[in-house]
Chain A
Amino acid sequence: MSSRDLQEETDKLETNSSNKPLKSGNNNDTLGPSSSSQRITESEIDVNDVINSMVDIEGHSGATVIFVGSVRNFGINGKVQRMYYESYAKMAENKIKHIEKMAMEKYGIKKIRIVHRIGELALGNNSVIIALSTPHSDDAFRACKYILAKIKQEVPIWKKEILSKGNEKWVDGKSIKTN
């Protein structure tokens, strides 16, 4: 059986791949998740924009919970200087949409936004945000923890710790859940 590289086509794909996230984010003020809202982005996460998207003037929700994950200065491989995130963008978008749908059904979520940033991030930069609103606060807190756990189990995103003296190490992660 033979196989060979087609380097020219590969180069073309490198610049026009389904694996490449869109550059800019957008807002979404409708109830529930939006199919057009971007979940994976190379851009800085606009926390205020996400919080504002939870505003519900019709009052369906009495509780909004926001989780913001950011780059910490220490990791499993020692002192961290920066963090690099990579994703299989299209699959990651699909997985996050699925998690949103599952969580909405399970916890009665009225509004939800999840955004994960990729690329090279500095210490303190926000890497992920989960925002959701529900009628009652217990459901909102439990839903947020559920979603974060699902992201860690199911969404194809990898991070590499950039350490001192130019050392870099991928973080040993969890085997991706496939069902």
Chain B
Amino acid sequence: MTDALDYAFRKLRKVSDDAIASLDETNIAQIKFSNNKVSTTQRWIASHITIFASIKNRTVSTIVSPEKKPIDKSIGRIVKFASSLAKNEDYHGIARGPFTYGKSQIFDKKLSKMDMADAVEASINEATTNGALRCSGVFEKEVLKITLKSTGGIDTRDEMTRAYFSIRSFSSKDASGHSVSASRNLKGLDFRKAAIESSTIALLARNPSTLEEGTYDIFFEHLPSANILENASNSSSMFNVEAGLSFFIGSLGKKVGSESLTMVDDATADWGINSRRFDEEGVPCKKTEIIKKGVLKTYLHNTSTASKYKTKTTANAGILAPRAINPVVEKGNFNKEEMLGKIKKGLIVTNLWYTRFQNQASGDFSTIPRDGIFLVENGRIKKPVKGIRINDNMLRMLRNITSASNEQRQIVGWEIESPITVPQILVRKVPITKSTE
């Protein structure tokens, strides 16, 4: 396969001023289960070359199969495409290497060879023994090899394994709980904990009541905490700032959250499910402080956006759009019980769903708690509730984080496409509404 990459790169550099070619070789296996049985097995065996080229500041990207004929065709098309494009005035070059890279990512042979069906069966048994009537979810594992070359003098590769397990348990039609586990290696996957946690929430959520509208202090478990804080991570991309897709526009150096909020992007952490040795233009990944004690310290850049704004790349390419690779929100000093103890009247939210913005620049949004929701009075769970919606503003919410827990977790989920590591958070005065019947 690397022969095909070499071939593509040789041809590409003849026609481009700047070029990056990256070969991805993947083998992904997935078991999807529902109602305690397997719905389907899925397998993806794929290899492709992602190409970026700049010809006289006309920029083009494409993906091609690693074979001579399609490569020839694509490179011919890149030239034709670029010849009739306008200049990309936002393009300011790619990284110039060579660079020295850190160690390779985790490649766990045990994970790549494990029996997935056994793990799924054991998890279902664990959840049902704990009282769940039925469970659904997925277990997915991936082996990924990346080889990257660029006209910036970069020639590097990486190899990794990663896996993700998601389980949603039901104890009745109205009562469910969800939990996930993600890791680079088999040792880090905690199937049992996820199964127990999802089924325990489902059991506690039985016979939910309705709730009065109003403002409530909310303790967000890891899944919903990730859902909220992923938006802060996305808002830090310079591309999103320029497009009006960020609530951090004009906020550099300003307070965007409470003292309890510190977020870094640490793609060097080898346990990060998306961590890499290098970003998509081959710059060695690093640790970048995005928010420190509530103050926005930087936007995330690739070489091009950094040059435009006269700063340095944060090693977060995306060629088109810089993005966080392994965002991590710092943990706090409190355990869950201590945080719940601060709630006079509030809620525990265990999952969120369908978060949508009315205005991404102002941060106005709403989202729907899903799975177990619990009314808390004087630090104790009073009863499960249902049918509510959070209507708030993201900046107000970040500023109203009163504390973060001392337990961080890496969250990957159907609603959380960019993995993020978060603690549980307590947010005060969150507006709650419900539907008219």
Pair from one complex? no
Which A residues fall within an 8 A CB radius of B?
Answer: none
